[in-house]
Chains A and B, each alone.
Chain A
Amino acid sequence: MIGIGLGLTTLRGGSVFNPADLFGVGDNGAMFTVSPETCFTDTARTTAAGVGDPVAGLTDLSGGGNHGSQGTLANRPILRQSGALYYLEFDGAGDWVAVTTGGLLGETWAHVGGWNSTAGLRFFATSQSFQGAPRQGAAITEWYNSSGSFVSIATVSAGTDHVLTIEQASTVSLSGRANGVTGSTITPADDSAAGNQGLALGSQSTSAGTNGLSGKFWGGVWIDRALTGAERAATEAYFADLAGVTL
């Protein structure tokens, strides 16, 4: 694996790696990058968003058609630009993007994404309240565990750009990494939702915007299987480039 700049990371055979390549036959999930090419001002994704526009539609690049949408104008994140990079700005006051309410992720899944959070929940991946959503603390990212408490899964300071990796190897094992550094493995509390998990960005619910993210989303991938070590490293490098993060 060789990181050679914006999104140009090789995984094997020397070809340029794109996390969309993770999705083989039968792999479900979603992948989002942020740019005027993937963000739209309408939920039908016909009118490209410009920098500063509220984003109503977000193209899923996984090939699965799990596009993001937000019909309510006031709840749409904003497309922002930082140098050559783009991100979605969530205001912490109700902004969120619906992807799907269920059927996206199973008992085993992985997420890698570029984030910057000061408060709230980055995304949601279960049918149970907040139990499947990472929360930002002052210096850690937390996940709800089987004892009913938020506990640390990765060390990352609030308000900093970072690449977050979360992998659920089974209903009793969930681990986190930040900027390529392994964090903690816990027993998550969302086992009863296994097999039918949906996805929303910036909310603790897949059907309403609550406990919303205050921060940035630079792009991310969710897939309903574990990643190999080489896949994980290449995917983290890809989103590090998108978020301007050095691993």
Chain B
Amino acid sequence: MSSYVMRVTIACPIAMVDDANNLAMVLGEGPADGSTFGTFMCEDGDGAQYAVTSTVARAIFPIAATSTLSRPVWDTSPYAISMAGAERAQAALSVYDPSDPVSPAPSRILAVIGNDAGAALSVMGLTALVPEGD
């Protein structure tokens, strides 16, 4: 039985991508998680762009994502992670609540917990950007 029990889809404003990738490294498994945000891009109805990722997560994710952050043991000097950046991303992180819905915003990283990435994008009012030539 896998310990990954939920899917989380997260939209990050362009200006916060570096911070969000620092947070991804803190919550993830290693330096490769510094590439979590930045390749899959979406936009809202006003044309504002967001870097989006969707991944399965362990049950502890909502707690870990809102708890005091610690530098992972793999990150030794010279550090790969900006903990200040990770903390800024954490401070901007909101988990979508259907009873009090909010949208992605330039100052907000929005996470939607649900089993379908496409449905999460719809909830957030985002559509995928199709690369040039396609």
Instruction: List chain A positions with a Cβ less than 8 A from chain B.
Output: 50-54, 71-76, 78, 91-95, 129-130, 135, 150, 204, 208-212, 214
Q: Which of B33-69 contact A (CB under 8 A)?
A: 33, 35-36, 39-40, 52-56
Instruction: List chain B positions with a Cβ less than 8 A from chain A.
Output: 1-2, 4-5, 7, 9, 24, 28-30, 32-33, 35-36, 39-40, 52-56, 117-118, 121, 128, 130-131, 133-134
Residue of B whose beta carbon sits closest to that of A130: B134
Known A-B contacts A93-B9, A210-B40; the reply to A51 vs B2 at CB < 8 A is yes
| Pairwise interchain contact A73-B39, C-beta atoms closer than 8 A | no
| Pairwise interchain contact A94-B134, C-beta atoms closer than 8 A | no
What is the bound-complex CA distance between A53 and B113, given in angstroms? Answer: 17
| Pairwise interchain contact A73-B133, C-beta atoms closer than 8 A | no
| Pairwise interchain contact B131-A204, C-beta atoms closer than 8 A | yes
Q: A7 to nearest B CB, angstroms?
A: 25
What is the bound-complex CA distance between A74 and B54, given in angstroms? Answer: 6
Q: Which residues does chain B contribute within 8 Å of A211, judged by CB atoms?
A: 130-131, 134
Q: Which residues does chain A contribute within 8 Å of B131, judged by CB atoms?
A: 129-130, 204, 210-211
| Pairwise interchain contact A94-B2, C-beta atoms closer than 8 A | no
Instruction: Give the contacting residue for B1; candidates A50, A78, A210; CB below 8 A.
Output: A50
What is the bound-complex CA distance between A92 and B55, given in angstroms? Answer: 11
| Pairwise interchain contact A54-B39, C-beta atoms closer than 8 A | no
